[in-house]
Amino acid sequence: MQGCEECLRLEAVLRKSGLDHLAAANRYNTLIGTAFDHSWAAKAVRTAKIAHDAVQRQFDEHVDKHAQSARMAAGA
């Protein structure tokens, strides 16, 4: 929703969590072909994915609230 501070905040957090997930995946992919222990990198990817999914759910729920409000206003 334009002008909604919570939408803007959640979009920024979502973008950051996506970048964190991508960075963790890149670290994992860099280590996977080496002799180094990459189990910590795999855990970091899972953790980042879980965090990103949680933020995505929050964003989706917030957007749904906007949609519900718009539907109620249109029906009035």
Instruction: Give the pLDDT confidence of 20-37 residue by residue, as tens digits.
Output: 999 999 999 999 888 888
pLDDT at residue 76 is higher than 60: no
**Residue 42: its pLDDT value, please?**
94
The radius of gyration of the chain from alpha carbons, rounded to an integer in Å, stands at 18
CA distance 30 to 68: 44
**Residue 70: its pLDDT value, please?**
67
- pTM for the model stands at 0.81
DSSP string computed for 16-75: HHHHHHHHHHHHHHHHHTSSS--HHHHHHHHHHHHHHHHHHHHHHHHHHHHHHHHHHHHH
**Residue 1: its pLDDT value, please?**
62
Q: Break the chain into its structural domains and give their ranges.
A: 1-16+38-76
